Amino acid sequence: MFEIMKKKSNFVIFLKSNMIKIKLILTTIVLILINTKLMGQTSINSPYSAYGVGDLLSKAPLRNQSMGGISIGTSHLLVINSNNPATYADLIMTSFEISAFGRNTTAKNSKSESINNSGGLNGLSFAFPTRKKFTIAAGLKPYSSVGYSMIQSSTTLFPNASSDSLKILYLRSGSGGLNQVFLGVGFKFFKKLTVGVNGVYTFGNINNFKSTSIRDFTDPNIAYASSKIVNYNKRISYKGLSSNFGVQFSDSLFNKKYKGRIGLVMDLPINLLTQQNVFFEQSQNTGSLLLSDTLDPSISGKTYIPMCIGLGISLEKTNYFTVGLDFKYQDWSKFKRFETSDLLQKSYSIGLGGEWIPKVMGNNYLGQVAYRLGVNYEKGILKLQNTSINSITASFGLGLPFKRTLSRMNLGLFYTLRGKSTESLISENIIGAAIGLTFNETWFIKRKHE
């Protein structure tokens, strides 16, 4: 009885001493989920997301995204890095991370220009070390995102007509994307070698909408143009299990003043159970529905996402600076959906970046701030009109520490140039910003004196 009361008392003390942090975590989760709900499932806006499973999003934590995306050959004692699960073994505290992003995209070709805003959840993760020399981690991250809207038109002049008498409008749009839930573990061997694995469940829906509107101007007695609208809505659902592995080796260099790391990751191929439904609808501009039906029975099959491998190296001086270089490769020409390929190609990315903390100890707050900088070049997965849709991104970030804790607020700024502007292709200038919170506590960790 006494033992039960003691445990309850310890729990109450824990709640009281951490109430502010708990409220801050819960408030952050609610705000980000509301923000994501308001924006819908789409977290990007790009016509290039119409191919494959959409635009691929970074799996790296916000800290590493601000450093050119380097995350394979780097590690941190207080950051959950699901991109290389071997780094879980380096965590020394219970950690919780959550972040969101927004971006402004200016898309243009030789004829027109458009500006769009978008955003959404960047990911959330949780990890805690055990006394058995391994660490457990779990989380949710977006894998890809689809968001686009395109309009085309054509006109027909009938014989003896003085003006265009038939106008056809074509609208194409898409939304949705894939998400990943992961559960992983990282082990430490001989102080220099860490290995890790994630079990991953990928799921999501992608909607592709096509609308054809035919407007007839031939009857002068009609006050408005009569119109018939035909809509096709294709909904594709995905789900499947996969895994990814990571290994990292570290050792002291230059009279033990610095530490070097090398990391390797492998994301095994993903085979997703895929189901497609197509809905058909025909109506008039008066709003009356002429016909509504489901075309053909549901189509079931598989989607194959190819293996991805990556290599990274870094040099660091603990609590002072980190610099690193990452390389990733994935052969998207092997992508298949219902045994059909897309306009995809072999892709790779190279990231270079670093972090600098002027003086982690002391009373100077600016000296305790982490300053991050990086650049990333990507040969994109998409090839249109014999042109590879590539991108280059410059990134800058800050890690703002909370006083008397090891928790931080992370800020990131990104500028991306993507694609090439021609008559039929577009270039995108993307300005992005992200904010995240990292909480580090001794929750779930048993102290040795207990």
With a cut of 90, say whether residue 155 has pLDDT above it: no
> For residue 90, what pLDDT is reported?
94
The C-alpha atoms of residue 267 and residue 180 are separated, in whole angstroms, by: 13
Looking at every residue in the chain, the average pLDDT score rounds to 84
pLDDT tens digit sequence for 328-347? 999 999 999 998 888 899 99
In this prediction, residue 131 has a pLDDT band, given cuts at 50, 70 and 90, of confident
With a cut of 70, say whether residue 266 has pLDDT above it: yes
Mean pLDDT computed over 310-317: 97
Q: Which domains does the chain have, with CATH numbers?
A: 40-441 (2.40.160.60)
Query: Dihedral sign, CA of 25, 31, 33, 36?
Result: negative
What amino acid is encoded at 189 in this protein?
F
Q: 112-116 long-range contacts, Cβ below 8 Å, gap at least 24? A: 116/45
What φ, ψ does residue 27 adopt, rounded to 5°? -65, -45
Mean pLDDT computed over 30-48: 59
With a cut of 80, say whether residue 126 has pLDDT above it: yes
**The two three-digit tokens of residue 433, written as one number:** 């910003």
Is the pTM higher than 0.95? The answer reads no
Task: Judge contact between 396 and 412, C-beta under 8 A.
Answer: yes
Task: Judge contact between 275 and 240, C-beta under 8 A.
Answer: no
With a cut of 80, say whether residue 161 has pLDDT above it: no
Of the two residues 4 and 67, the one the predictor is more confident about is 67
What amino acid is encoded at 427 in this protein?
S
Contacts for 212 with CB less than 8 Å, ≥ 6 apart:
168, 169, 170, 171, 229, 230, 231
Cβ neighbours, 10 Å, residue 386: 5
Task: Count Cβ neighbours within 10 Å for each residue of 190-213 and write b for 16 or more, e otherwise.
Answer: eeeebbbbbebebebbbebbebeb
How far are the Cα atoms of 80, 323, 402, 414, 432 from residue 435, in angstroms, in the given order? 16, 22, 15, 12, 11
The residue with tokens 């960047």 is 122
> For residue 5, what pLDDT is reported?
46
